[in-house]
Amino acid sequence: MPDTDTDESLLGRARAGDEQAFLSIYMRHRAGVYRFACRLLGDEAAAEDVTHDCFLSLFKHPERFDASRGAALRTYLFAAARNLSLKRFRRAAQETLIDETLEERSAPACDEPLSRLLEAELSATVRAAVHALPALQREVLILFEFENLSLQEIALVVGAEVNTVKSRLGRARDGLRRALAPHLAARRTELVGASEK
């Protein structure tokens, strides 16, 4: 299957029953959607459900994605993931709490145990700070900083104006700066020390 096929053509074939076309679409977008859901929800199991439902919605409700509206499939998938995540929030009647027991199992940058511990600690701190943000700011921040979506795309995903997205992003950064102020200060101290040497 050539990878140059557009999402739209692949989707058309997948809807007609072409499994390879479906797999191409899925492999192309699964990582971003899963990562986004995972960061947004803070729960890998829930993120799996959201990713699953997200891709299946392309076939269960084909009318919901209309390529003629100018939206890219990627944007649609992120929007669907976002809506499904918000549904989960509503059902839980509260923001998803940070699961402190959730283990970060990413591969460490180096093999030193202390370095690994520090990285894990920093990761947990950043995660806690992001999850402490309001849901609307959190999703914008994740899409912008981690998934590298443009402001226009984010506006389509969250169903808001570009300016709204910008202001949410600004507020999210302000909130993060306040939450991570000690780490920022420590890091700058280290950098100043290194520069003096």
Partner 1 sequence: MSEKTNQDELDARRPSVEPEGREASACESSALTHESSAALFVFASVPALEEDLKVLLDGWQSPRVVPASLDARVLNSYRELLKEKEMNLHRPGHTLTPHYALPGDYHLTILEERGLFARLLAEIRETADDAQLTRAELRRDPFGFMRRLASAYASMAWRTLSQENTAYGVVTAFAVVLTLVGAVAAFSKFGTTRDGLLADRINENLIYLGPVTNIPKVQPEPEAGTAGMARGTGGGSKTEQERPGGGGGGGRLEDKPAVHGKLPQATLDPQVLAPDPKPPAIQNPSLPTAATIRADPALFPTDTRAINYGDPKSKATELSSGSGTGGGIGEGTGGGVGPGNGTGYGPGEGYNTGGGPPKLGGGGAGGNGGGGDLARPFRVNEVTRRAQIISKPEPLYTEEARKNQVTGTVRLRLVLSASGQVTGITPITKLPDGLTEKAIEAARRISFTPAEKDGRKVSQYVTIEYNFNIY
Closer residue to partner 1, CB minimum distance, 97 or 192: 192
Residue list 9-28, contact with partner 1 (CB under 8 A): 14, 16-20, 22-23, 26
Q: How many helices (H) and strands (E) does the chain have?
A: 9, 0
User: Is residue 85 helix, strand or coil?
Assistant: helix
- Joined together, the tokens standing for residue 87 give 């549904």
**Given candidates 11, 46, 143, 180, which one binds partner 1 under the rule CB under 8 A?**
180
Task: Rule CB under 8 A: choose which of 150, 168, 171, 175 binds partner 1.
Answer: 150
**Out of 28, 74, 127, 171, the residue judged to bind partner 1 by CB under 8 A:** 127
Choice from 2, 3, 4, 90 touching partner 1 (CB under 8 A) = 90
The DSSP result for 40-63, as a single string, is HHS-HHHHHHHHHHHHHHHHHSGG
Q: Could you tell me the smallest distance in angstroms from the CB atom of residue 82 to partner 1?
A: 9
- Among residues 104, 110, 167, 105, the alpha carbon closest in space to that of 136 is found at 167
Kindly identify the residues of this chain, within the stretch 104-123, that bind partner 1 according to CB under 8 A.
104-106, 119-120, 122-123
The reply to whether 135 sits near partner 1 by the rule CB under 8 A is: no
Tokens in use for 3? 């990878």
CA distance 26 to 29: 5
